[in-house]
């Protein structure tokens, strides 16, 4: 078997094992949340017998290990369970499948992440390549200072500053990103521009500095010196010789930040009341809706693992030692 294929299969297997371990951690952590759904719905005046009967109806009276394997068995079949919300002590069940709740929110989150990536990735690559091209210049120092300044602030602070500047003092964009089904693409982009700008300002510094550092590190290599001795321009040296060999670390940091766009949007979605998975998870934790919390957490974990796996694969296939083994 080719070394590249063998290494990729090992990474995939490791990713599956990691996802299994993470699922155990998610299930354990969710079940350690304080409070009880049955008591929260029935109220403090409910008797122990009533609470016990209600927990039995929800399946919460079973041992944790039994509930875990039931949950994972459903996940493997595409069934994330049924939401606890909508259940009432009167016996009326208006609950909905978790998949019906998560899928629309997932589409919104992926739209926001894609919109941010379209802005942030080209901008970060441009800033990183140009900063390496004019290293130690005023432009390089200004770009580094500006990106470090934005990354030094937490997401909610950047969000509130943008709301103040672009939503209140100069009302250019809406302060609430309340997208809904049936909106035109242009209207959806206009509504989600502030959360997208917030995420862009937060993540662009990581990608820009890694791109710059990877290129500068390669500029001291012997083959780069040879290209310079041949009289090639600095731009051609970076774009043709240094950049192709710097893709592995750059792809890794881009994958990390793309994973953050999906996993770390919770705060931004809450600030802008954006109907994504992060907002859904916060609401589910508040109402102790265990199946929804588990589904959202598992989605975040799977996204992070998959994007890191893609970064590993890119690093492997761009490694000349693996592509041309001796």
Q: What are the structure tokens assigned to 100, written together?
A: 């019906």
Q: Which of 96-100, 226-230, 318-322 has the lowest mean pLDDT?
A: 318-322
In contact, 224 and 218? CB cutoff 8 Å: yes
State CA 38 to chain mean position distance.
Answer: 32
CA–CA gap between residue 217 and residue 241 (Å, rounded):
13
In 163-286, where does DSSP find H-type helix?
A: 185-191, 193-218, 222-229, 234-236, 243-245, 247-263, 266-272, 277-286
Q: For 115, left (φ over 0), alpha (ψ -120 to 50), or beta?
A: alpha
Residue 89 in this model has a pLDDT that exceeds 60: no
From the number of C-beta atoms within 10 Å of its C-beta (0-12, 13-18, 19+), residue 306 rates as middle
Classified as helix, coil or strand, 97 is strand
pLDDT tens per residue across span 233-287: 777 777 777 777 777 777 777 877 887 777 777 888 888 888 888 888 888 887 7
Tell the CATH topology of 108-279: MetI-like fold (1.10.3720)
Q: What is the DSSP letter of 242?
A: I
Q: Which two structure tokens, joined as six digits, stand for 24?
A: 């155990």
With cut-offs at 50, 70 and 90, classify the pLDDT of residue 42: low
pLDDT digits (tens, 9 = 90+) for 165-200: 888 888 888 888 888 877 888 888 898 899 999 888
Domain ranges for the chain: 1-96+287-326, 108-279
Q: How far is CA 144 from the centre of its chain?
A: 24
Mean pLDDT of 50-59: 74
């Amino acid at each position: 078997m080719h070394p590249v294929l063998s290494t990729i299969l090992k990474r995939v297997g490791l990713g599956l094992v990691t996802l299994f371990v993470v699922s155990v951690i998610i299930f354990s952590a969710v079940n350690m949340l304080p409070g009880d759904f049955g008591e929260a719905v029935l109220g403090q005046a409910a008797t122990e017998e009533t609470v016990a009967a209600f927990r039995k109806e929800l399946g919460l009276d079973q041992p944790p290990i039994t509930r875990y394997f039931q949950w994972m068995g459903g996940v493997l079949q595409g069934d994330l369970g049924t939401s606890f919300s909508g259940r009432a002590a009167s016996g009326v069940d208006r609950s909905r499948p978790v998949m019906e709740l998560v899928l629309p929110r997932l589409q919104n989150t992926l739209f926001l992440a894609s919109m941010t990536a379209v802005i942030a990735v080209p901008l970060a690559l441009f800033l990183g390549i140009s900063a390496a091209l004019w290293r130690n210049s005023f432009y390089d120092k200004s770009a580094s200072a500006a990106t470090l300044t934005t990354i030094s602030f937490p997401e909610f602070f950047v969000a509130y500053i943008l709301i103040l500047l672009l939503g209140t003092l100069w009302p250019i964009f809406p302060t609430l990103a309340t997208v809904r089904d049936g909106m035109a693409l242009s209207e959806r982009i206009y509504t989600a521009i502030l959360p997208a700008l917030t995420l862009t300002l937060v993540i662009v510094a990581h990608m820009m500095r890694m791109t710059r550092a990877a290129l500068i590190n390669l500029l001291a290599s012997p083959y780069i010196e040879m290209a310079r001795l041949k009289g090639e321009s600095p731009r051609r040296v970076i774009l043709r010789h240094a950049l192709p060999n710097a893709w592995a670390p750059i792809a890794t940091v881009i994958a990390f930040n793309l994973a953050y766009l999906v996993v770390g949007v919770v705060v931004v979605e809450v600030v802008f009341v954006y109907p994504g998975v992060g907002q859904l998870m916060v609401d589910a934790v508040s109402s102790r809706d265990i199946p929804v919390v588990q589904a959202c957490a598992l989605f975040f974990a799977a996204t992070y693992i998959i994007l890191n796996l893609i970064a590993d694969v890119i690093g492997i296939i761009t490694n000349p030692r693996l592509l041309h083994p001796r």
